[in-house]
Structure 1
Amino acid sequence: MSTPDRTGRSGGSREAGMVTAETAVVLPVLLLVLAGAVAAVVVVGAQLRCVDAAREGARAAARGEPAAVVHELAAQAAPDGATTDLGVGETVRVTVAATVAPLGPLPWRVEVTATATGVREPAAGGPP
Structure 2
Amino acid sequence: MVTVETALALAALVVVTAGMAWVVSLVATQARCVDAARDTARAIARGESSAASQAEGRRSAPAGADIAVQVADDVVTVEVSVEARPPWPVLSHLPGVPVSGRAVVALEPGHPDPLTAPDR
CA distance in 2, matches of 1:56, 1:81: 17
The 5-angstrom pairing of residues 101-116 of structure 1 reads 101-105=85-89, 106=91, 107-108=93-94, 109-116=96-103
Percent same amino acid among aligned pairs? 41
**Where has structure 1 moved over 6 Å in runs of 4 or more?**
none
Q: Secondary structure at the match of 2:52?
A: helix
| 1:47-74: CA deviation from partner (whole Å, max 9, x where unpaired) | 0000100000110111111110111111
The 5-angstrom pairing of residues 15-94 of structure 1 reads 18-89=1-72, 90-94=74-78
> Which of structures 1 and 2 has the larger relative contact order (alpha carbons within 8 angstroms, sep 6+)?
2
Larger radius of gyration: 1
How many residues were matched structurally? 111
Higher mean C-alpha displacement, 53-62 vs 117-126: 117-126
The structural deviation recorded for 1:123 is: 3.0
The structural deviation recorded for 1:103 is: 4.3
1:124 — aligned with what?
Answer: 111
| 1:65-119: CA deviation from partner (whole Å, max 9, x where unpaired) | 1110111111110000101001012100111001111243322211100110100
What is the TM-score of this pair, normalised by structure 2? Answer: 0.86
Q: Which ranges in structure 2 are unaligned for 5 or more consecutive residues? A: 116-120
**RMSD of aligned C-alpha atoms?**
1.3
CA distance in 2, matches of 1:38, 1:78: 20
Give 1:71's aligned amino acid. Q
CA distance in 1, matches of 2:17, 2:87: 11
Q: Which ranges in structure 1 are unaligned for 5 or more consecutive residues? A: 1-17
